[in-house]
Amino acid sequence: SQPWPPRQSRGELNEATLYTAFKRLEDGGCINSYWGAEGTGARRKYYHITPTGIDKCRSLIAEWETAKKIIDELIETEENKNE
């Protein structure tokens, strides 16, 4: 039986989803990756955000804030109509 809510709806991602997103961000120039030195255990891949990624992040945050403001206003208008 599947747990409810499903695991992914609780903010968890599977590895395939995560690495697909990383690949898309890297292809878009938003992040760079490099392989760490093999010390103990498995080799690890590290990621860091690029200036393009920072700009994109700021742009997406601004878009989200605009959309959120519109939605909040719609909800407030609807609540006022119901009073």
31-67 tens-digit pLDDT: 999 998 877 778 888 999 999 999 999 999 999 999 9
Task: Show the 3-state SS of the chain.
Answer: CCCCCCHHHHCCCCHHHHHHHHHHHHHCCCEEEEECCCCCCCCCEEEEECHHHHHHHHHHHHHHHHHHHHHHHHHHHHHHHCC
Mean pLDDT to the nearest integer, 67-82: 90
pLDDT band at 75 (very low <50, low <70, confident <90, very high): very high
- State residue 7's pLDDT score: 57
DSSP-assigned letter for residue 45:
E
Length reported for the chain: 83
